[in-house]
A and B are shown apart, each in its own frame.
Chain A
Amino acid sequence: MPGGETYFAVRDINLKVEPGRFVSIVGPTGSGKSTILNMAAGLLNPSSGEVTSFGEPVNGVNRRASYMFQQDPLLPWKTVIDNVSLGLTMAGASKAEAHAEARRWLEKVGLKNFADRYPHQLSGGMRKRTAIAQAWIVNPDVLLMDEPFSALDVQTRQIMENELLQLWQESGKAVVFITHDLDEAIALSDEVVILGAGPGSTVVGSYEIDIPRPRDLLDIRDDPQFVALHREIWGRLKVEVSKTYETAMAEEGEVA
């Protein structure tokens, strides 16, 4: 890049996710959480190093992964059922087949009466459910989630997290979940990975979450194990968060 410095969002990341594991990545703003996920998805190429998925290097879009975005990914000009069946129809399935499968998924996420609506006619929670069905219907081995519920209100969010856990437990898929909410990360995951302050951040800690499953997310925040883990991990995360904050303040000082 002429005239500019290369910005390393993340460096020396070595992260492994085993099949069937739910791994959350938590870090302060600007720690490159989304960068990691986009590289795993194949939407972004690492400037050096390699991303492998099931032993094979990711080249172009990662075919074995589905991605759940923070923003609304539904095509506004397609009905709910057409949105959900999109992955199947694009892979060459007939419309009837795809719709039958989509109906099954809509029933699973509680939207079977909304198949013919357009996205703008749904609430935020319903759109998220549609997005979940859309991502899961292609039966990926890995689910990459980039703060998928951050735009929802707190209650809807907890309900969605519960539903996500149920879906995941039935499926045995690997999940990489990005969030800046430590509560959410601990409640959902088998493992919480902490990223350091950016730029050029790296993994600074990794914690095994051995709270037994199935978990009820509506009550888990009072669980003594949860509280102990939260205290331990927050102790580490806090350091990185304040580092980020101090850097931001210093930069602001420079500008002023």
Chain B
Amino acid sequence: MTLLDSKKNGLSAALDSGTRRRKRRTELSPLAMRGTQFLLTVAVLGAWELSVRAGVVDEFFFPLPSDIFQTVWLWVSSGFVFPHLWITMQEAILAFLVGAAAGLLLGFVLARVRFLERLLDPFLQMFNALPRVVLAPIFLLWFGLGIWSKVAFGFTLVFFIVFFNTLEGVKSVDRVLVDNARMLGASEKQLLRHVFIPSALTWIFSSLHISVGFAITGAVVGEYLGASAGVGYAIAQAQGVFDTRGVFAGMFILMIVVLIIDLLVNRLERHLLRWRPTQSA
């Protein structure tokens, strides 16, 4: 991306027309943009820190950023957070894998079998309309306080996103591509492999970012409502003793973890969708 941007700058320098020059002056280089973003972060955190220290904001509700980072550091350096994080990740990964697999499978089947799609459509709409959080208590009763109630909860979140995107992705495949592959002798299985799956991948990937986030949300919310371990549980514990620093520290750690996972998904997406024209400019 950086390379591309600098190339674009070179081009605009070469074109050097009046409008271009004006645009170039307002457009920062990526490095300068990073610097500005860093400054913004410092400014916001600094303002927060100062207003708490000055007593404008109550420290009980908004603990000092420096204290939050201290707590984060304590949780990380003592290793306290890692078992919790590991449990949460296990739940999220299981929920994601099972949910995505089921969503993909049902999405492909329903997209190819018109009868089933028409039959199941109202039921799927009904379940999708249900606010998923209300399922958490019943899952706790069914599956207990262990990881499986969270997996089930995350599953209901991931499944529908992947399912609807797969269904849409397969159905929106260009008619000509299908006809052409059939004329070239494709069997139903080959159609799936060469045409439908790659075509649906773009849709599935756009849903992947959301569904990965949802898998983690499902795990954490589930833990928060009742668990014996996990980051959500740690946050609930901190809240139980009015330790807002602990709550913020848990949020911060989760944020970083999700960012890292999203970065990995991006990498995978770029690799698998490398045939796509880059949507720059």
What residues make up the interface of A, taking CB atoms closer than 8 Å to B? 41, 43, 61-63, 65-67, 69, 71-73, 75-79, 86-87, 90-91, 118, 120-121, 134-135, 138
Contact = CB atoms under 8 A, between A and B. Distances in A.
Nearest to A62: B183
B274 to A, nearest CB: 8
A86 B194 contact: yes
B275 A77 contact: yes
A63 B275 contact: no
Nearest to B191: A90
A138 B185 contact: yes
A81 B184 CA distance: 15
B186 to A, nearest CB: 5
A196 to B, nearest CB: 26
Contacts of B273: 77
A66 B183 contact: yes
Query: Max chain A CB contacts within 10 Å: which of B174, B194, B273?
Result: B194
A73 B177 contact: yes
A204 B187 CA distance: 38
Contacts of B275: 76-79, 118, 120
B184 A134 contact: yes
A75 B185 contact: no
Contacts of A77: 198-199, 201, 273, 275-276
B31 interface: no
Contact of B185 (A73, A91, A121): A91
Contacts of A87: 184-185
Query: Max chain A CB contacts within 10 Å: which of B187, B190, B275?
Result: B275
Contacts of B177: 73, 75
Contact of A43 (B179, B190, B194, B195): B179
Nearest to B199: A77
A121 B276 CA distance: 10
Contact of B180 (A65, A67, A120, A121): A67
A76 B276 contact: yes
Interface in B100-119: none
B23 interface: no
Question: Interface residues of A: mostly helix, strand, loop or mixed?
Answer: loop
A75 B184 contact: no
Question: Interface residues of B: mostly helix, strand, loop or mixed?
Answer: helix
B183 A43 contact: yes
A90 B194 contact: yes
B176 A73 contact: yes
Given A75-B194, A77-B275, A67 B186 contact: no
Given A76-B276, A86-B194, A61 B182 contact: yes
B198 A75 contact: yes
Query: Max chain A CB contacts within 10 Å: which of B180, B190, B195?
Result: B180
B277 A120 contact: yes
B13 interface: no
A43 B184 CA distance: 12
Contacts of B182: 43, 61
A61 B181 CA distance: 11
A79 B186 CA distance: 18
Contacts of B183: 41, 43, 61-62, 65-67, 135
A143 to B, nearest CB: 11
Contacts of A121: 277
11 contacts: A61-B182, A61-B185, A66-B184, A69-B180, A71-B176, A75-B194, A77-B198, A77-B201, A77-B276, A87-B185, A120-B275
B205 to A, nearest CB: 12
Contacts of A86: 181, 184, 194
Nearest to A138: B184
A105 to B, nearest CB: 13
A71 B184 CA distance: 16
B176 A69 contact: yes
Query: Max chain B CB contacts within 10 Å: which of A61, A77, A86?
Result: A77
4 nearest A-B residue pairs (beta carbon) = A73-B180, A87-B184, A120-B277, A67-B183
